Structure 1
């Protein structure tokens, strides 16, 4: 016979309502009580019926993740698996599942979000990137649907909960690192200008040049996708200049990895001929040859805090919007040298 909540309650010597609260991971239940109830569940082989619970509570026990582009491109960049690992960790603690949506165009992504919201498939959404003039923000605000952004919104900043780094400061520090090594011909390699993170990091780069009295040159600013191919195309473009840069601020380690490979094919030596500072500090920034100086933005923490922020909204609908800034750190390795 299939065990019930009443059976678990009897074995654990608690009320059925306490068992329900343990299943829901209610913070008001003490850790010791949770342990006793879960031991009873294991002993009886009891498994909660989350579908039935959802029908009663009108909760899906699921949150949605909105990818910024098609899955085949997203998962070529280790930023996204790591940020999803942070989100899934807090989701597991809350007994929530994860539903992912993406698309090959802005229209497909927007339609996917509309279908999710109108069908109430999830209890809230996390947008994994912030885009300039994103109509999705207006859509979700109008419907009072819980959502959090990884990245700073360019509009409605006081009305939206978001988790981000101080990208202007981080890019300023990255650029100043090259300036202190004597570099004056410093290029900026960024992602698309539709991304707020690109705009912020470019502004930090501009500020560092200005403070150092270095002229800003338009030909030293290039934008490509956050992929190895994007880095390859960027460096091919820059090295054709009459005065190619001696230093690069690259906004993503994957792009930087593509740059290192392409420079090697050109016969250029990283650190000796050209210095590189990049962002994200993913695992192969340490494995590149030479290893990359990179800004550690604490990707896991970005995801975990974004998840916590969303669950706070779901549990407390009247909660005011929050801005959470995750600290960054410049990790100096072997890809930079003096001019």
Structure 2
């Protein structure tokens, strides 16, 4: 466990950033110090053999970010699995909003240890109540049939505006200036831009990567991808209806989250996140996402249903 993580366990409002952290024109912190803090957040405290504890950043909004609790739960599961077994899928439900001022306890059930596969179930608990549950399956790597869909033809990330250039003063206007450990570059119009153009195709494409260098830890790279996968996934639903958080009276939350990991990748290298929404109805919207490595390999698939209510 890192010193930063130990300090956070003792003081949930801790994990402060250094004073010389890089900041964009909008004052939003980014770069290696911010990524190092995310790594510390994922470095859970081990309370007992199958019990772990995690915390949230001091500047978190009113509820815990879904990608954070998913990443931490996957870390807890992975800490009970032999290193030669790699996660290939996870299925999760968001049960209650998480309180960022309270540590989260992760209880791991060692469901099965087979010859090739290992299954784990994790329940995240606050104040004695479950807020999140996750099932994950791990497998020894094997050779077998191999095919994949091709990557869409999109501009390279270096040809696109940075997050700071794209967002302008929008996040500051919302009071959202929390640090960003993930570098995001929109290929399609950002949803707040698409909103002014009316209803668009139900699709969102971004390049993203961890904003710094990560250690060579396969589980950590997968957990960072799980964290990032919840950042822009529901954009594909919003752009189809010309609405956006904060600019319109939209209430929303992640209901569930599933990921399948097809091939090894590094989360600190550029990944294309190609998201689309096949359906929205009944106050819910379904979004799918595909992660492609820069060389065109399909490395992961994501599916999420979100609660979306547009109020008068």
> Do both proteins adopt the same fold according to a TM-score greater than 0.5, normalized to the shorter chain?
no
TM range (shorter): under 0.3
Structure with more of its chain in strand, by fraction: 2
TM-score, with length taken from structure 2: 0.22
TM-score, with length taken from structure 1: 0.21
